[in-house]
Structure formats: structure tokens, C-alpha cells
Amino acid sequence: MASTASEIVAFMVAISGWVLVSSTLPTDYWKVSTIDGTVITTATYWANLWKTCVTDSTGVSNCKDFPSMLALDGYIQACRGLMIAAVSLGFFASIFALFGMKCTKVGGSDKAKAKIACLAGIVFILSGLCSMTGCSLYANKITTEFFDPLYVEQKYELGAALFIGWAGASLCIIGGVIFCFSISDNSKTPRMAYAYNGPTSVLSSRTKYQSGEGDFKNTSSSKQFDKNAYV
């Protein structure tokens, strides 16, 4: 029972993390222009993995998609690949988890379901690591440019999408670890085996009853005989 509850908790935690990781791809604010050292701010610059935008003081935004994938910076291409890999791995891990959980009717025996659940946990951990690496790589680029005194172009700060990605990656890793430990819980709680002797007919039950009654009469008569013999 405890193993089933832990698997349900792990599934909910991992799925929540996967949803957060998936939501970071279309999120706009991966990096936002800093206002540090500026007195008057006339525009706000922000960007994500797919486009760069500017919002003026009136609230009007103008966005420009990246014209070429091959002309992009290496860290953006790496972040794209890692985040897409994280979403894909999380999708397959959720399917494996559905087959490996004890509360579902598919997946085979308990031993096979435990192995599938452990595999789902490993894939969830890989998904979380991909998301964590992608967000950390993007954040490292932002912080490196921000603290570089020789960098004279527009500096940025960390956007909300990075924190969402880190949170989702942490949840995926936690859920994956719980799934991996569920296989040890299954090995510690063996299933009880019950022997089936087949259906008992009415004739056989009567025979057993009559034979038992006869044995009881013989025993009582022998006891009475022994008692009279010694009197």
C-alpha cells in the first residue's frame, strides 16, 4: 500500500515538473534588459529561445524572430536542443510510469511493473537534468555578460522562464528518484501465495463427514470398553 502511494506521489510530482518544463519553451521572458545604472528607461528589451523583442514606454511591443537557425549563437542552439529533449523524455517517461504503476491494470506482473517504474524514474531524471542544464547554460551566458566590465552592449537579467525551468527540472528529478526507489519497496514486500486445491464435491464432503463420524464412534466405544474392562 505504501509503495502504491509513493508511486502516485512520484507520478504527480514528475508530471507537474514536466508541465513546468514544457511551459518554458513558449514563455517570452528568458532574459530581460536591466535597469541598473540607468536613470530614464524608454524601452525594455527581452528575448527567449525563438525571438527578441522590445517594448516601448507606451506598452507597444515589436518582436523579431531569429532569421536563421545556423546563424544563432551556440548557447541558444544548445538550449533549444536540451529543452526539446527534456520535453520529449518527460513525455515518454509519463507513458512508462502509467504502465509501471501498481494502480494500473497494464504492464504485466508486479516484478515487470517495478522494472518499468524504475525505467520511468530514470527517464524522468534525464529529463530534469536536460532542463536543468539548458536553463543553467542560458543563465551562465547572461551572468557572464552582466558582470563583465568590458561588455558595452545591452546587459540582461534572468527572466521568469529560467526559474520556471529550474523548478520543473527539480520536480522531475525528485519524482524520478521516488520511482527508482519504488523497485526496492516491491522487492521487500513479497506477494503471499495461496494454494488452490480445486472444488470439493458434495459426495466427497459427505464421505469425509461419515468417515469422521465413524472414527469418533469407534474411539468412544473403545474408551468405554477399556473402562468396563478394568471395572
Banded pLDDT at 57 (limits 50, 70, 90): confident
Of 6, 19, 12, 9, nearest to 127 by C-alpha is: 19
Are 175 and 131 in contact by the 8 Å Cβ rule? The answer is no
Highest mean pLDDT among 63-67, 98-102, 134-138: 134-138
* Confidence at residue 37, expressed as pLDDT on a 0 to 100 scale: 58
Highest mean pLDDT among 69-73, 206-210, 215-219: 69-73
Fold classification of 1-28+73-186 is Butyryl-CoA Dehydrogenase, subunit A; domain 3 (1.20.140)
Mean pLDDT throughout 165-185? 89
pLDDT at 109 > cutoff 90: no
Residues of the chain with pLDDT > 70: what percent? Answer: 75
What's the whole-model pTM score?
A: 0.75
**Cα separations in angstroms, 215 against 1, 200, 204:** 47, 21, 16
Higher pLDDT, 187 or 99: 99
Of 137, 134, 131, 136, nearest to 88 by C-alpha is: 131
Bridge partners of 32, per DSSP, are 46, 157
Residues 107, 120: Cα–Cα separation, whole Å: 13
Sole residue written with cell 506482473: 109
Looking at every residue in the chain, the average pLDDT score rounds to: 80
DSSP string covering 175-208, please? HHHHHHHHHHHHHHSPPPP-----PPPHHHHHHH
User: For the chain, first and last CA: distance in Å?
Assistant: 65
Give burial (CB, 10 Å; 0-12/13-18/19+) of 42.
exposed
Q: For residue 100, give the 3-state DSSP assignment.
A: helix
pLDDT at 192 > cutoff 50: no
Q: What are phi and psi of 70, to 5 degrees?
A: -75, -20
Banded pLDDT at 150 (limits 50, 70, 90): confident
Sole residue written with cell 542544464: 133
